Structure 1
Amino acid sequence: MTRVIQSSSSLDGKTIVLGITGSIAAVRCVELARELMRHGASVHAVMTKEAQKIIHPEAMRYATGNPVITEITGGVEHVEFCGMGGKAHLLLVAPCTANTIGKIAHGIDDTPVTTFATTAFGSDIPIMIVPAMHESMYNHPIVIENTGKLTELGVEFVNPAVEEGAAKIAGKEEILLRAERTLGGKKLAGKRILITGGATAEAIDPIRLLTNRASGKTGIELAFEAFRRGADVTLVHRGCIGIQGICESTIESAKDMAKIVLEELSKGYDILISAAAISDFTVTPATEKIKSGKVVTLTLRPAPKLIRQARQKYPQLKIIGFKAETNVTEDELIERARESMKASALSMVVANDISKGGMGAEENDVYIIDSNVKHISGTKRYIAAEIMNKIEVIL
């Protein structure tokens, strides 16, 4: 096994049994195992005979650093990992064929993977299934029925991407995120969190836009972190992350952002995290493309202020604001953040000086301001986790 450089500690101390069945998507399991390990998990592979025809057990032994289970022996491996008090925290069957879904649904355990599943059911160990098969098989009414039956029994499914006639295995990043949520303690379970992220854009004409440098990474990392902790998450932004379980609304302008957010808030949320870099100005767009090669004068007018509108309409709502400034001292930055906090009755403000970096970058340097001030630097994932730690206390 080559050395794994750990990306986070989200799965530290967790043992994941990776059940591999006879789908061509089994070739993705080396990288899936490594991705889980990069976040602290210990991974043990269990393979059916059909899976071994597609990827050699030695490849998985190399990937995980652990012996691969290809048959149930006198060592009763299924009990060691998935029995009462067993080592496993999660049985992850990826990829999972239609055949294996059917067997697990009917308690048939004639392969190492299905024997592990039967044992995990009896020990209340979480089971996560990641299907991969031809589209026609995935659409079979009995496969759909078996999937529904297992869902009712508490099995979690990470649905495939259906394209090119195939129900393709979900990406390793999505599988990782779902595993983190399952194993993460769910401290925000039952909480509804609305997050805005990224830049908005104001149309100048049918082709051109006025926007800013915000990448939306902070909003996405906040959505991921809230999801990991069990919250029901809605993300409003210009992009699309396409993660099952995270609701998304795609917008373009500041007006769109305000309209969608205010409509969403009417459905009942515990907190609004306003991390988007919403345009301060808008223009009246031309109906046709403005001809190039000449000087154009644009008249800017103030765009709607989302936080102000949200506070007026929902006076009891908890709101987290973000404050970006340029070329100010630390004291000035904190003072301006406190002014915003007071003006809109915010629970917390995250402030930074973007002239020193952060906008569009992977890392940032911010001040988290509530009754105290906390200065943190690091990746946006790390900063999102620190913000969520504060939000856990607020909620």
Structure 2
Amino acid sequence: MFDRTWYLVHISVMLTMCNKCQEPFRRLEGKKIVIAVTASISIYRIPDLARDLVKLGASVTCAMSESSQELVSPEVFKWASGSDPVTSITGRVEHISFFNDPHNTILVIAPATYNILGKMAAGISDEIPSLMFAYAFGHGVPVIVAPAMHEDMLRNPVMVDNIRRLSSLGVSFVSPRIEDEKAKISENISIIDEIYRSFNHGNMDGKKALVISGRSEESLDPVRVISNRSTGTTGYWLARNLYRLGASQVTLIGNTSQALPPYINQIHADSTDDFYRETKAELKSDTYDIVFVPAALSDFSVTKQSRKIESGKELSITLKPRKKLLDAIRMEHKGTLVSFKLDHEGGKFAGQGSKDEYIVFNEIRPEGRTFGDNSAEYKVFGGDGTHEIIANGKEEATWRLILHVAGK
């Protein structure tokens, strides 16, 4: 039996630490999520997932197979979700009553074993998770599956056919992480982003988006660079929220302080020349509906010394103005363009936007608080005039910005 006492103490300590973190963006308020739990060793990850979803405002219920109850006590899932888990189907016909609002409910099967996926593909419903799927999917409830098994089981041609068949019918899969010859259940953020996407995909459905983000570096010598304080947080949240809102392809050129999930195509760039080269190449090779440019790029170039500059003496550096990346983008990109301006006051940008080009003004604030995941205040010029966005963090601000630009 799983060590329940250790688990509850461990989670309580983690939650205490997170109490100091920023309040989460509760976009799942009013949504119901049923997590069908099967007997994989990855089951230890599911209480954390349930807690994360509850923090985002969702109503969460766990439905456990009989074998999964032998691995982790249902009491742990009750604590994690705040509701009684389903451990048997009773006269309340839980597999039906839980899904009476298909537009605001999602079924997540996690961890999804070889066994449950075989049953789903074959139409077998002989225990709680497969029974939940049988009714929910037939009733129009979105279904998200997070597989977990040995790598060879995932690559078994029978399993490949099962996944292909279920995908063709509309089941969404969150790809596992392949490590140590195991297909490990994906990270929580990947499952959560897929849940967001299922609820919100109509906002950017079919759109291809490019995000150019992060800070650039200008090399002085082989060791030193001139750079800025940008963390790439705005680009990170733009990329994730574009995916959550249904974009068919999201590419990020640049760098971020946070690791991007695997469904974001990242093209790394550090120097300003890297940004120019990679952006031009990407816009020539692909067509994007919308381009966001929150990147903090150097306005100047310097002459790099071939050897490390000696310390201990006065040094003068010549900064030469360089061409703007936005001008190069305008030559290649014919869709919507959203650029970001960081300055002391935004009046100078009033009236500069247009129907297809938006300028997002972000005011410089003291003590470096402009950067990172602090509260965000944007003035957006373009489209139908000036629009103000005041949000508790970049996650919420970029979500609202995307919806504004998309006309939602």
Do they fold alike, i.e. is TM over 0.5? Answer: yes
2:154 maps to 1:126: no
Contact kept, 8 Å, 2:230 with 2:371, in 1: the verdict is yes
Match of 1:166 in 2: 182
Match of 1:253 in 2: 271
Contact kept, 8 Å, 1:20 with 1:45, in 2: the verdict is yes
2:291 maps to 1:281: no
Supply the AA of the counterpart residue of 2:213: G
The root-mean-square deviation of aligned C-alpha atoms, in Å, is 2.7
1:229-378 map, 5 Å: 229-231=245-247, 232-239=249-256, 241-266=259-284, 267-293=286-312, 295-314=314-333, 316-325=334-343, 328=344, 333-338=345-350, 341=352, 347-356=357-366, 357-370=369-382, 371-374=385-388, 376-378=390-392
Relative to 1, partners in 2 of residues 1:104 and 1:88: Cα closer, same or farther, differing over 3 Å? farther
Which 10-residue stretch deviates more, 267-276 or 211-220? 267-276
Supply the AA of the counterpart residue of 2:117: I
- TM superposition shift of 1:60: 0.7
Measured in 2, the distance between the counterparts of 1:178 and 1:77 equals 24
Measured in 1, the distance between the counterparts of 2:389 and 2:164 equals 47
Instruction: Indicate which of 64, 73, 77 corresponds to 2:81.
Output: 64
Contact kept, 8 Å, 2:389 with 2:400, in 1: the verdict is no
- TM superposition shift of 1:377: 4.8
Which 10-residue stretch deviates more, 84-93 or 170-179? 84-93
Match of 2:170 in 1: 154
Measured in 1, the distance between the counterparts of 2:356 and 2:130 equals 51
Measured in 2, the distance between the counterparts of 1:210 and 1:141 equals 53
Which 10-residue stretch deviates more, 142-151 or 23-32? 142-151
Match of 2:4 in 1: none
2:379 maps to 1:382: no
Q: Percent identity?
A: 32
1:191-202 map, 5 Å: 191-202=207-218
1:68-79 map, 5 Å: 68-79=85-96
Relative to 1, partners in 2 of residues 1:367 and 1:103: Cα closer, same or farther, differing over 3 Å? same
Measured in 1, the distance between the counterparts of 2:318 and 2:166 equals 59
TM-score of the aligned structures, taking structure 1 as reference length:
0.88
Relative to 1, partners in 2 of residues 1:346 and 1:258: Cα closer, same or farther, differing over 3 Å? farther
- TM superposition shift of 1:345: 8.7
Instruction: Indicate which of 10, 13, 16 corresponds to 2:33.
Output: 16
Instruction: Indicate which of 105, 110, 121 corresponds to 1:105.
Output: 121
- TM superposition shift of 1:61: 1.2
- TM superposition shift of 1:369: 2.4
Supply the AA of the counterpart residue of 2:251: T
Which 10-residue stretch deviates more, 106-115 or 164-173? 164-173
Supply the AA of the counterpart residue of 1:392: A
Relative to 1, partners in 2 of residues 1:20 and 1:88: Cα closer, same or farther, differing over 3 Å? farther
Contact kept, 8 Å, 2:377 with 2:388, in 1: the verdict is no
Relative to 1, partners in 2 of residues 1:47 and 1:373: Cα closer, same or farther, differing over 3 Å? closer
Measured in 1, the distance between the counterparts of 2:208 and 2:338 equals 14
Measured in 2, the distance between the counterparts of 1:148 and 1:175 equals 19
- TM superposition shift of 1:212: 0.8
Relative to 1, partners in 2 of residues 1:191 and 1:15: Cα closer, same or farther, differing over 3 Å? same
Measured in 2, the distance between the counterparts of 1:293 and 1:167 equals 54
TM-score of the aligned structures, taking structure 2 as reference length:
0.86
2:50 maps to 1:33: yes
Relative to 1, partners in 2 of residues 1:137 and 1:388: Cα closer, same or farther, differing over 3 Å? same
